[in-house]
Chains A and B, each alone.
Chain A
Amino acid sequence: MLKGMTRLVSRVHKMQKLRIRKLDPGRFLHSGTQAPQCLVAHLDNQVPTESPRAISRTLENDPAKHGEQHVGQHYNISIQELKTVFPHGLPPRFVMQVKTFNEACLMVRKPALELLHYLKNTNFAHPAVRYVLYGEKGTGKTLSLCHIIHFCAKQDWLILHIPDAHLWVKNCRDLLQSTYNKQRFDQPLEASVWLKNFKTANERFLSQIKVQDKYVWNKRESTEKGSPLAEVVEQGIMRVRNATDAVGIVLKELKRQSSLGIFRLLVAVDGVNALWGRTTLKREDKSLIAPEELALIYNLRKMVKNDWQGGAIVLTVSQTGSLFKPRKAYLPQELLGKEGFDTLDPFIPILVSNYNPKEFEACIQYYLENSWLQHEKAHTEEGKKELLFLSNRNPGLLERLCAYL
């Protein structure tokens, strides 16, 4: 039995691309744990094909076990998990794709693997390290961030995910003067929506973490010291006027208690360049508001500083929702500005680039498997070459092109 397997293993290693062949299933029923990953993936797709193609799926659904051999392959996230881990934060086109295909598959890519490696080897006694994902438009920064969040959720970290910081600095209908500090402004709607989603994502932690201060909301309501954080969140959701202050309290408590070691904290902010940019919000006398005058932004800036232990900070800079930034800007220095860059310095920059040829093939393969590419010519080599040319292997562009083909 073992001799046959080693012969098969050496054969598989000889081929450049894993050729999918029909195998005798009886041989592998008693296969030991030594079966290498490539063989496991090889077993996954027992579909006979005429020509060697890149395998586009893997059965390894735990992000902790993803390695170099899974680059380019899609792994599945169940819809239940999606609802708990990502109540917000997935790009809207990806949400549409999940709804259409009835499944959520993320591609494993190098930048995410690099970050996973760093996160697995973090020393929680040291201050939190900041990682910044940057790249051109449509290269996959947000989905890489979602991959990391999925990993941390599986490892039972507390996820503090701000889906798009740009949404907090523009198009706010109701700005109230903050009750806590007269100089600052409250955004009740955005804060309450975020609190609802935060509650869905981190239900189990909210009852365990106890508040270490007494907070008085108004003449009749207050939260005592030692009560669970869930009460603060409930207060914020029910009394929308106090939602921003509730968010501030949640952030402060989490930062204070993360170094105690009860839980590990992941701060994930998409579009962090909004914190130091400009806003389009105006006061009643039509004068512009600076970002630090918004209570949400002020508290978030404190969160992103690396003066706490027991977790990690993963950030994304994006031009897509940003205000007053040129379209071609994608580097952290250009998008964060001097103030932002100095505050975030030092950080680990991770470049997210377009697909490499293998990933591109795998993506096309995934679409073909789901019958998403319906045009007859899209199945041909000519069609694939044209898609490659038109999209320049940019994931976002490719998705938009394949949507109408």
Chain B
Amino acid sequence: MALSATVSQKKHVKRKAPRGFLRRLFKRQKPHLRLETRGDVLVHLNCLLFIHRLAEEARINACESKCGIIKKDHVVAAAKVILKKSRA
């Protein structure tokens, strides 16, 4: 009952988290560490938020340069800012 059964019609989740991918990634990076069950979902959430911020920043850069397209340099500039922010 805790995990209520999904509706029969809709058994797939929209925007499913690549849990397997994340677990594999973490294992490859830190084989001596373990990741909890819900940890990878939160990691996914973290990635989502990161991507979100990155996209926002890139869009702002593109708009500032008055480009209709997001170009690589926009993305690079945005990444610099965001990564720095994330580290702190």
A and B are interacting partners: no
| Chain B residues engaging chain A, CB cutoff 8 angstroms | none
